Structure 1
Amino acid sequence: MHFKELSKSRYTTKKYDSSRKIPDFIIEELKEIISLSPSSINSQPWHFTFVANEKVKAELASLSFFNEQKINEASHLVVFSAIDDIARFEQQINENLPEGSVNYYNQFVKPLGDVAIKSWLQHQVYLSLGFFLAACASLAFDSTPMEGIQGSEYDKVLKQDGYKTLFAVAIGYRSTDDKNQPELKPKTRLPLIKTITTI
């Protein structure tokens, strides 16, 4: 399917068919795709936790406000985390990136201070979200990105070490009863003239 058509059909799923699970081989392909996400200087300051275990998924769902039902119904929950330990991040890039990339970080990012560094790291994880949602659509299943979760409580459940939960994405197959699907509730977007300028 053409990417524009995928964009038209992809939507934020509100209700999943809990009887359908995404096959393991597709999940493995999705893991490979998300690892190819773009990031500034190829910094990759992220960790992605794929939750298939129903008990753990239910525990995380209980920490997710109005998203609880979606998570419980979904096939999997994917938790997106950013590295929260600057020393660990600097060790990672020193061991894995070319000198020019490390120099960029040292010259332009590091002098900004810890708060700005962590914000920059988190922005890289957000870059991966759009990539991930498009990948889900291309693999013919549905997704629900959500910030409405208790990130610090997620960290405890997942025993995060040096990483901080930012958001999560429920994935699975839509229920035919989902009233939010584009066939029943057409997508609306602002006109291009209001959102795009050509110079």
Structure 2
Amino acid sequence: MCFLDIAKSRYTTKKYDPNGKIADETIEQLKEILRLSPSSINSQPWKFTFISEEKTKSELSKVSYHNEQKINDASHIVVFSVIENVEDFENGNLTLLGSEKAGYYNRMVKPKGESEIKSWLSCQVYLSLGFFLSACASMGIDSTPMEGIQTEAYDRILQQDGYKTLFAVAIGYRDKEDANQPSITPKFRLDMENVIRTI
């Protein structure tokens, strides 16, 4: 299947088949794909937590607002987190990137202050989200990106150390009756002329 066809068929899954478990070897491929995600200056300020253990999924579901059922029924939940302390990033990741990339950070990012630095770091994690959702779709795996979660509660449940939860993604296989799939509810996107500009 070409990527355009994947883009047309991919959708945010609302209802999962609770018996649809993703094979271990496929999960290992997804982990490697996330590890290879792109980021500005190769900064990689992230951590990805894969959860399939039912007790932990249940705990997370209770602090996930309207996403509770998706989390309980999905095969896995993947939590996307960003490094919490700017100094930890500068004394860790940044030291591994070489002088040219560190120079860019010190000239273009650091002078903007801590709030802007943290925003920039979080943006890198969002880049990995797009990469991940596309990978899932290419492998026939359904997914649901979720910002509707209580991130501080996630940090507590997962005992995050040095990283802060930004969002999570449920992955698995759709329930055949999921009303959000394009065959039942056609995709809505703005018209080409409203979103694409050609110069």
4+ aligned runs moved over 4 Å, structure 1: none
Q: Is the 8 A contact 1:142 1:171 kept in 2?
A: yes
In 2, the alpha carbon distance for the partners of 1:75 and 1:2 equals 26
1:105 paired residue number: 105
**Residue 59 (1) aligns with residue 59 (2):** yes
> Offset at 1:139?
1.0
Does the CA contact (< 8 Å) of 1:93 and 1:102 recur in 2? no
Q: Percent identity?
A: 61
Distance (whole Å) between structure 1 residues aligned to residue 109 and residue 188 of structure 2: 38
Q: Distance in 2 between the 1:61 and 1:94 partners?
A: 35
Which SS does the other structure have where 1:80 is aligned?
A: strand
Alignment partner, residue 193 of structure 1 = 193
SS in 2 for 1:79: strand
In structure 1, the residue matched to 2:119 is: 119
For 1:68, the aligned partner's letter is E
- SS at the partner of 2:197? coil
Deviation at 1:94, TM superposition (A): 3.8
Give 1:152's aligned residue: 152
SS of structure 2 residue aligned to 1:116: helix
Q: Which amino acid aligns with 2:74?
A: A
Q: Deviations over 1:64-109 (max 9, x none)?
A: 0000000000000000001111111011234311110011111111
Kindly indicate whether the alpha-carbon contact (under 8 Å) linking 1:46 and 1:82 is maintained by their aligned counterparts in 2.
yes
Give 2:162's aligned residue: 162
Q: Can you give the 5+ residue segments of structure 1 that lack an aligned partner in the other structure?
A: none
Show CA shifts across 1:172-193 (max 9, x none). 0000010110111111111110
Q: Which residue of 2 aligns with 1:16?
A: 16
How many angstroms apart in 1 are the aligned matches of 2:101 and 2:11? Answer: 36
Q: How many residues align?
A: 199
Q: Which amino acid counterpart does residue 11 of structure 1 have in structure 2?
A: Y
Within-5 A mapping of 1:30-109:
30-109=30-109
Structure 2 vs 1, CA of residues 181 and 115 (structure 1 numbering), >3 Å: closer, same or farther? same
Give the whole-Å Cα distance in 1 for the aligned partners of 2:196 and 2:59.
Answer: 42
Given that residues 10 and 137 in structure 1 are in contact (C-alpha distance below 8 angstroms), is that contact kept between their aligned partners in structure 2?
Answer: yes
List gaps (5 residues or longer) in structure 2.
none
CA distance in structure 2 between the aligned counterparts of 1:117 and 1:166, rounded to whole angstroms: 15
Aligned-partner SS, 1:14: coil
TM-score (norm 2): 0.98
Contact 2:95 2:102 in 1 (8 A): no
C-alpha contact 2:45 2:93 (8 A) present in aligned 1: no
TM-score normalised by L of structure 1:
0.98
Whole-angstrom CA distance in 2 between matches of 1:94 and 1:131: 22
Query: How far did residue 63 of structure 1 move?
Result: 0.5
